[in-house]
C-alpha cells in the first residue's frame, strides 16, 4: 500500500512538473488575471487619474479594454506570460498607451507609458488592485431642462480670434505659459491684427472644495490674478470644462455644478468658455446634447458677466441647427483637427455645405488653427488660413507664439485675409467649381466686392481658371492678390493662374 502511495505521489509530482514546464515554455500564465483592476496614475500637476483595466485571460492571451473617464477602448495587443503582463491600446489615431507589469500577492505593478502625442510624458510605475464592475459605471443622469431658446448674449458679432493652449501644449500649459503668450500676442502684433482671446484648454482643474467649488491645480495657483494680468494687456481670457463628470483629459467636469462653476468663472473674470462633451456621452444620449448645453448657456448668462460660449461636441446631432438656441456663440462641426494636410484639408473643404448656418454672433467652428506647428508646409498653412477665413470660422491660433517663424507670423496676421473672416455682413461662401483636384470658392463682402479663392489640392502645381460670368462679375473689374498684397491685372472673360501643390491664390475683386 505504501509503495502504491509513493508511486501515486511520484506520478502527481511528475505531472505537476510537466504542467509547469509546459506553462513556462508556452507562455501560459499560472495565475488568472481576469477581472477589473484599477490604477491610480499621477499627473505631473499633482492630480491623479484612475484607469481601469478590464481583462479576460485565455491562456497567454489577454483581451478586454482600458476604461478612462468612462470611455472604453479595446486592447489592441495583450499577453500574460511567465507572470508578466503586456497591453497596448490606441485611444486616438496617433496615440499608443502601453502597460507593462507583474502580478504579486494579488497586486499589479504596472509601468505606464504614452507615445505618439506632442507631450509623450515620462513613463510612471504604479500599483493596481482588483476593483468591481460597478466602478466602471458612470453616475446616473441628472434631470435636464425643458428645451427653449436661450436669448442671444450679444457677443462675438464677428468670429472670435485668439489663441488656445491645446494643439501645442496639451497638458503642459500653466500660469507662466499663459502670461508669456499674452505678452507675445501684444508684442508680435497679433493683438493689433484682431487676436484677443487667450484660452486655457483642459488640465487646469483639480477637484472641489467642501462647498463644491471648482479648484485649479498647482499649475494655476491663482486664476483670478492670471485673468487680471491678461486683461491688463487689453486681452480676454478663456477656460475649459465639460457637461460630464470628467473632461477629456480626466479632470473635473461641471456635471451637477453648472451654475456653481459659471459663477466661479465670472468671479475669476473669465470671458470665454469651451465646453467639451467628453464623459457626458457615457451618461446621456446624443439627443440630450441640446438640453445639456442649454443648462450651461443659461448658467453663464445668469452670472451677468459677458462670457463667450463655445460648444465642443464634434458636429454631432447637426449642432449648427440648434447651437444658437442654447446661447452658443460657436460650435464645433468636426472631430479634432490634426497638423497634417489630409486632416486639415478634409475638414476645411467639407464645410461649404453647412456654411449657410453662420450669422453674426453664431459661428461654425471647424476647430483650432494648426498654423506654425510644423506638420504642414507654408503653402498648406496658407490654404488653412484661407479656408477658415472664407468660412468665417473662429481664428484660434494653436501654436507656441513665442517661437514663431516670420512666415508663420505673416500668415496669422495677414490683414487682407483676416478682413474676409471678420466681414460684418457674414455672407456664406460658395464652392463654384470643383474639377478633379482644383476648386474655386467665392464669398460676397459687405462693401460689394467678391473674394475668390483658387485652390489646388493636387500633388503638382496646376493652372486653375475662374470664369467671371459664373460669379456674376460682368464688365470692368479689378483685383488684389490677398497673399501677395498686390494688384492683379484682369482682362477678358476668364482668369488663369498657376497654383502650387496644396496651394491657394486668393483675390478680392471689385467692379469698376
Candidate list 288, 336, 340, 481, residue with the active-site label: 336
Cβ atoms of 227 and 197 closer than 8 Å = no
- Please list, in sequence order, all residues whose beta carbon lies within 8 angstroms of the beta carbon of residue 484, skipping any fewer than 6 positions away: none
Cβ atoms of 237 and 227 closer than 8 Å = yes
**463 is a catalytic site residue:** no
In 3D space, the residue among 122, 226, 133, 214 whose CA is nearest the CA of residue 178 turns out to be 226
Strands 438-444 and 450-456: antiparallel
Rounded CA gap, 503 and 423, in Å?
23
- Please list, in sequence order, all residues whose beta carbon lies within 8 angstroms of the beta carbon of residue 231, skipping any fewer than 6 positions away: 237, 269
DSSP letter for each residue of 87-130 = EEE-SSSS-EEEEEEEEETTEEEEEEEEESSS--PPPEEEEEEE
Cβ atoms of 453 and 434 closer than 8 Å = no
Rounded CA gap, 318 and 98, in Å?
36
Compute CA distances 408 → 74, 190, 324, whole Å. 39, 11, 33
In 3D space, the residue among 478, 483, 477 whose CA is nearest the CA of residue 454 turns out to be 483
Cβ atoms of 262 and 302 closer than 8 Å = yes
Candidate list 276, 365, 367, 421, residue with the active-site label: 276
- Please list, in sequence order, all residues whose beta carbon lies within 8 angstroms of the beta carbon of residue 293, skipping any fewer than 6 positions away: 243, 275, 311, 313, 323, 326, 327, 328
Q: Helix or strand or coil: residue 149? A: coil
**336 is a catalytic site residue:** yes
Active site amino acids: 276, 336
Amino acid at each position: 500500500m505504501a509503495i502504491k502511495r509513493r508511486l501515486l505521489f511520484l506520478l502527481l509530482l511528475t505531472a505537476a512538473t510537466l504542467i509547469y514546464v509546459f506553462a513556462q515554455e508556452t507562455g501560459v500564465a499560472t495565475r488568472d488575471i481576469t477581472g477589473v483592476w484599477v490604477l491610480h496614475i499621477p499627473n505631473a500637476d499633482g492630480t491623479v487619474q484612475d484607469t481601469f483595466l478590464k481583462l479576460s485571460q485565455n491562456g497567454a492571451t489577454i483581451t478586454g479594454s482600458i476604461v478612462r473617464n468612462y470611455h472604453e477602448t479595446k486592447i489592441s495587443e495583450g499577453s500574460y506570460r511567465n507572470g508578466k503582463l503586456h497591453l497596448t491600446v490606441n485611444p486616438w489615431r496617433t496615440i499608443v498607451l502601453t502597460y507593462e507589469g507583474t502580478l504579486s500577492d494579488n497586486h499589479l505593478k504596472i509601468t505606464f507609458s504614452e507615445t505618439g502625442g506632442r507631450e509623450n510624458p515620462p513613463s510612471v510605475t504604479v500599483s493596481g488592485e482588483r476593483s468591481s464592475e460597478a466602478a466602471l459605471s458612470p453616475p446616473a443622469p441628472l434631470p435636464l431642462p425643458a428645451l427653449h431658446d436661450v436669448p442671444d448674449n450679444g457677443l462675438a458679432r464677428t468670429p472670435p480670434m485668439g489663441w488656445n493652449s491645446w494643439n501645442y501644449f496639451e497638458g503642459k500649459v500653466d500660469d507662466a505659459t499663459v502670461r508669456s503668450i499674452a505678452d507675445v500676442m501684444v508684442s508680435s502684433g497679433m493683438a493689433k491684427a484682431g487676436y484677443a482671446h487667450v484660452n486655457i484648454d483642459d488640465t487646469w482643474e483639480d477637484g472641489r472644495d467642501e462647498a463644491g467649488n471648482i479648484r485649479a491645480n498647482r499649475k494655476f495657483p491663482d486664476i483670478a490674478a492670471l485673468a487680471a494680468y491678461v486683461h491688463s494687456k487689453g486681452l480676454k481670457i478663456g477656460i475649459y470644462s465639460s457637461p460630464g463628470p470628467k473632461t477629456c483629459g480626466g479632470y473635473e467636469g461641471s456635471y451637477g455644478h453648472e451654475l456653481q462653476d459659471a459663477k466661479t468663472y465670472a468671479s475669476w473674470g473669465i470671458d470665454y468658455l469651451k465646453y467639451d462633451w467628453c464623459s457626458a456621452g457615457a451618461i446621456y444620449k446624443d439627443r440630450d446634447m441640446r438640453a445639456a448645453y442649454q443648462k450651461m448657456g443659461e448658467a453663464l448668462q445668469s452670472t451677468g458677466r459677458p462670457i463667450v460660449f463655445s460648444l465642443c461636441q464634434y458636429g454631432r446631432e447637426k449642432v449648427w441647427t440648434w447651437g444658437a438656441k442654447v446661447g452658443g456663440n460657436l460650435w464645433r462641426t468636426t472631430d479634432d483637427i490634426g497638423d497634417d494636410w489630409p486632416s486639415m484639408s478634409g475638414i476645411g473643404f467639407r464645410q461649404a455645405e453647412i456654411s449657410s448656418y453662420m450669422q453674426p454672433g453664431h459661428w461654425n467652428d471647424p476647430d483650432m488653427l494648426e498654423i506654425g506647428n510644423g506638420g504642414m508646409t507654408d503653402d498648406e498653412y496658407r490654404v488653412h488660413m484661407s479656408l477658415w477665413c472664407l468660412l468665417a470660422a473662429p481664428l484660434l491660433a494653436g501654436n507656441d507664439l513665442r517661437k514663431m517663424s516670420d512666415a508663420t507670423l505673416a500668415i496669422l496676421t495677414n490683414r487682407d485675409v483676416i478682413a474676409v473672416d471678420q466681414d460684418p455682413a457674414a455672407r456664406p461662401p460658395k464652392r463654384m467649381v470643383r474639377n478633379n483636384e482644383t476648386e474655386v470658392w467665392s464669398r460676397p463682402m459687405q462693401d460689394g466686392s467678391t473674394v475668390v479663392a483658387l485652390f489646388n489640392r493636387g500633388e503638382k502645381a496646376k493652372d486653375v481658371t475662374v470664369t467671371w460670368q459664373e460669379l456674376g462679375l460682368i464688365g470692368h473689374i479689378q483685383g488684389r492678390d490677398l497673399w501677395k498684397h498686390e494688384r492683379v491685372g484682369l482682362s477678358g472673360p476668364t482668369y488663369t493662374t498657376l497654383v502650387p501643390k496644396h496651394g491657394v491664390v486668393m483675390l478680392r475683386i471689385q467692379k469698376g
